[in-house]
Structures are given as structure tokens and as C-alpha cells.
Amino acid sequence: MYRLSLALPLCLAFVPVHANAQNLSPRPVRIVLATAPNLSSSIRVMTAAYSASGAIVALDAHTIVIEPRMPAPLCAVPKDADGKTTWSYYAFPLASITVPLDIVDDKLIGEDTVFTNPNAVKTYRPGQVGETTMVIVAGLPGKQFHTLAYDRDKFLNLGPGPHSASEYGEAPDDTEAFALTFADRAAAQAFSQALRNAVILARAQLAQR
């Protein structure tokens, strides 16, 4: 497993924050895995697995756009040492991530667990595991993903909408890696496997051109 502690330095889009966490409501997700996956079926599995957390749109045959639900949840990561627990907080405020599948490093797709429940700090006991699964995706060396990032604090402080992207500070950015959150661990695992399949298939198809 590609641990979160190793992945976080890669995530140029993440920012430490100190606002209240916004929970993703757990919803059962039914996922049908193809027995012999092809690229389109792998993308369909990814779309279904991510449906409770956001949307995925196929930009072309080998590129997807991931649109996480806003605002990004606040992810809390505990560290137990010397009888004390300290917490680190992270958010990944991305409105969209453009993912050419062939530039994803399929060997660095990993999962870890984090806490997004705002009461976690009060109820936590050493050894407890977070209720939210994070999937970390990194690009091949020298490759970056085009993203639209926004200011999470501005977004949280907006009144009733609609609002323009400029009101919550949306701006283009590039990152070497990003993280997606899933309330359902099975959905996260299905997403990870489908993404690996899609990356390998997209790379093979493009190599034949």
C-alpha cells in the first residue's frame, strides 16, 4: 500500500487548513466489474465508484476529467507517539483534474485512511482507523495534471448561490499528484483497480498508433 505519509509531499495541490470538516455522506455504491475489462468499461467502473464523491467525464478516448464535490473534505491524520496524539489536517480543494490516463503512474496508485468526521479529535482512541478512504494518484516522472484549484475558505464563507468561479478563487494550476476521498472503502478499491486497468489499456492503445 502506498502510504499517505509518503504520498503527501507529492501532492502539490493540497493545502493545510483549519476550518471545520465537511462530511461526505456514506452511500452504498453498487459496482459491476467487467470480467475482461476494456478501456470504456474501466472508465464506467471508475465513474460509478466515484459517484458519491464527485463526477467523472470522458474528455476523449484516453483522457478523463475528475470533478470532486466541493468543498473538499477536511482530512485529519493522527500520529501517536510517546503516549500523545498529534493531528495534521489537509484538504485538496480542486474543482477539476484533467487526467491523460497514459501519464498516470499505475505503480503509485495507493490508498490510505483518514478521518473526515469533525468529532474525530474528541472521540479518537489510539489505533483507530479513519472512516474515509483516500486514493492517491501520481503522474509519471516529469508529468503533471492540469487542475482548477479554488480557495476552500472562500467557498465555505459564500452565502446562497449561484456564484461565479472567481468568487471562490478558482484558478488553473498544475500538480504532480492528487488525492480523492471516498466514504465507501469498497468503492475506493474498485476505483483504484479500474484506474490501473484504464492506465495500462490507454498506454497500450496509444503505443499502437
What angle separates helix 39-50 from helix 185-207, to the nearest 10 degrees? 150
Q: Would you list the DSSP string of 155-188?
A: HHT--SS---GGGGT-EEEEESEEEEEES-HHHH
Do 116 and 75 touch, CB atoms closer than 8 A? yes
List the chain pLDDT tens, one digit each, 209 residues: 334 443 444 443 444 443 333 344 445 544 444 445 699 999 999 999 999 999 999 999 999 999 999 999 999 999 999 889 999 998 999 999 999 999 999 999 999 999 999 899 899 998 899 999 999 999 999 999 999 999 999 998 988 878 888 988 999 999 999 999 999 999 999 999 999 999 999 999 999 88
The pLDDT assigned to 83 comes to: 85
Show me where the domains of the chain are located: 4-158+165-207
